Amino acid sequence: MDNYENWRKGIREEKKKRFKGVLALLVFIIPFGILIYLETSGQSQAEEMGVGWYILFFLLCLGEIFMIRNWRALPSANIESYKALEKQVLEQQGLEEKIIKDREEWQRNKEDKILTEIKESLKTEFAQLDLLEKNTQALKKLNCPNPSHLKDTLRTLEAEISEKCGVEVLKKFLRIEKFLEEVRNEINFNIRGITKTVDISSYKESLITDKKKELSNDASRNYERLKNINEGNGRGSDAQLIHKLLVKLSHEMVPGIEKEIQQLSYLDAIAASMVIFSLNNKNILYLEILEAFDKLGALNSTWQKAMENKMNIISNQLAVLAGGLLQLNSNFEKLLDQNDMILGAIKELDGSVKMGNALQAITAYQVYRVNKNLKAKT
């Protein structure tokens, strides 16, 4: 409502407007008075003016009555009238606001009740997502160290390798060194990517939204389910399928990365051993290790291209990390079976290069595999 001065001014303007209307009405009454005079005096001009004047007079009288009545209905332009009107307006507004507030509160209570029931029905799924968050935080603390055994060996024996094995062999060793660095970078990159991308709150919200759609029999959700079945993705909506994948992989992420770190350390150590074998005429072991790296994709871009294709979406990142960035081929399995012989050969040949850490890495990976196999059997 306007303040008092504006309201008082408006009342006065309205009264002036209606007063002018009354004055205009009086202007029309004067000719009619003349008509009455002529009629009563018996002059002929009255008959010539016709019945139209009577009709006009009747309408003007009605207009005058209406105008005066509305004019008189206007409140007095004083502070008492203003306060009384203001009180009435405020009471009306308060009543309307209360109705709106009550309606909103009822709707909010209804939605809160539905949301509580939905969260209760999703209690198991939420607990699984909380476990995923815990595992993601544990994953964030892991860091893959830089492989150094092969690098140190190559820098120490560069001249001897070039002289005895040739530059082409040295190039192969350098490709393997670069491959190990790329594996290490890929592991750390995907650890950061997973921990940054996994959003537990967002996953929970998507499950709640999906549940609401299910309760309302939403057509878009039904379409999602049919589409996923037809495309072979599984039975369920998009939110349900993503949740199933996350839950399945949640407990595998940390052990999977720990395996990758152990495995990379082993590959670094066995590559350094390969260099020692090449310089000491242990050609069978040298060629077996070189072939194993070749099949792994270390001597070309096969491995890198495979990783680029797999790491484009979060689900593939999780799957690769859980399953392993590096899948050791049968050649490495054969080398692992010969671990004792390899360790013995390294100890026998190691003189100019300190291979103690490499020996420890090979032994550590052997112990890791044995323990893992025992746990799997248990």
Give the per-residue pLDDT at 268: 92
Pairwise pLDDT comparison (254 vs 23), residue with the higher score = 254
281-301: average pLDDT: 88
Q: How confident is the model at residue 311 (pLDDT cuts 50, 70, 90)?
A: low
Residue among 273, 258, 270, 260 at smallest CA distance from 332: 270
CA distance 52 to 169: 123
Alpha-carbon radius of gyration of the chain: 46
Mean pLDDT of the chain, nearest integer: 76
- Determine what percent of the chain falls in helix, strand and coil, rounding each to the nearest 5: 85, 0, 15
DSSP 48-111: HH-THHHHHHHHHHHHHHHHHHHHHHSPPSSHHHHHHHHHHHHHHHHHHHHHHHHHHHHHHHHH
Pairwise pLDDT comparison (203 vs 358), residue with the higher score = 203
CA distance 369 to 333: 11
CA distance 288 to 267: 13
302 token code pair? 């096969």
Long-range contacts of 237-245 (CB under 8 A, 24+ apart): 237/210, 237/213, 238/210, 239/206, 239/207, 239/209, 239/210, 240/207, 240/210, 242/203, 242/206, 242/315, 243/125, 243/128, 243/129, 243/203, 243/207, 245/315, 245/318, 245/319
Q: How confident is the model at residue 364 (pLDDT cuts 50, 70, 90)?
A: confident
Give the per-residue pLDDT at 46: 46
What's the distance, Cα to Cα, between the start and end of the chain in Å? Answer: 81
CA distance 218 to 223: 9
CA 6 to chain centre: 53
Give the pLDDT confidence of 121-174 residue by residue, as tens digits: 999 999 999 999 999 899 888 888 889 889 998 998 999 999 999 999 999 999
Q: Is 247 within 8 Å of 132 (Cβ atoms)?
A: yes
Three-state secondary structure string covering 130-153: HHHHHHHHHHHCCCCCCCCHHHHH
293 token code pair? 């790296």
Is 194 a residue whose pLDDT tops 90? no
Q: Give the 3-state secondary structure of residue 360.
A: helix
264 token code pair? 């990379």
Is 363 a residue whose pLDDT tops 50? yes
